[in-house]
Amino acid sequence: MNWIAIGTLSDIPRRGARCVATPQGKIAVFRTADDQVYAIDDHCPHKGGPLSQGIVHDAAVTCPLHNWVISLETGKALGADEGSVRTIPVKVEGERLFLALEALASRAA
Ligand code: FES
């Protein structure tokens, strides 16, 4: 697995996110209240809202446009809504964060 460095944990506020531009599109990287880190496409499965600007609660994010709730663990819409986004493996080494480049490449192929 090839990992690409995307900065450090402290670059992302707790219950916040950062949008990372990659060759395979924009990825939203989230940090939960208990410092878990998740990465999913920054593109809501409803109408493409920027999930990195949503509200993080537990291991989910609420889309800023029409309030769909997306699981950060599975990328799936929760509740009555149907749809999903790609999840990207994240590795945390000390303070440093990495995304799985091969997962990005193979899923885009
Ligand atoms: S675009 Fe995300 S809920 Fe509509």
Domain range summary for the chain, segments of one domain joined by +: 3-108
pLDDT in tens, 72-89: 999 999 999 999 999 999
- How many angstroms does the Cα of residue 83 sit away from the middle of ligand 1? 11
The topology under which CATH files domain 3-108 is: Rieske Iron-sulfur Protein (2.102.10)
Confidence of residue 105 (pLDDT cuts 50, 70, 90): low
- How many angstroms does the Cα of residue 96 sit away from the middle of ligand 1? 31
Find out whether the beta carbon of 65 lies less than 6 Å from any atom of ligand 1: yes
3-state SS track over the chain: CCEEEEEEHHHCCCCEEEEEEECCEEEEEEECCCCCEEEEECCCCCCCCCHHHCEEECCEEECCCCCCEEECCCCEECCCCCCECCEECEEEECCEEEEEHHHHHHHHC
Find out whether the beta carbon of 85 lies less than 6 Å from any atom of ligand 1: no
Neighbours of 7 (CB within 10 A): 14
- How many angstroms does the Cα of residue 80 sit away from the middle of ligand 1? 13
Provide the token pair at 74. 């599975």
Tell which residue, 14, 20, 12, has the closest CA to residue 43.
20
pTM: 0.92
pLDDT in tens, 25-73: 999 999 999 999 999 999 999 999 999 999 999 999 999 999 999 999 9
Q: Using the predicted structure, report yes or no on whether residue 106 has a pLDDT greater than 70.
A: no
Of ligand 1's atoms, which has the minimum distance to the CA of residue 49?
1
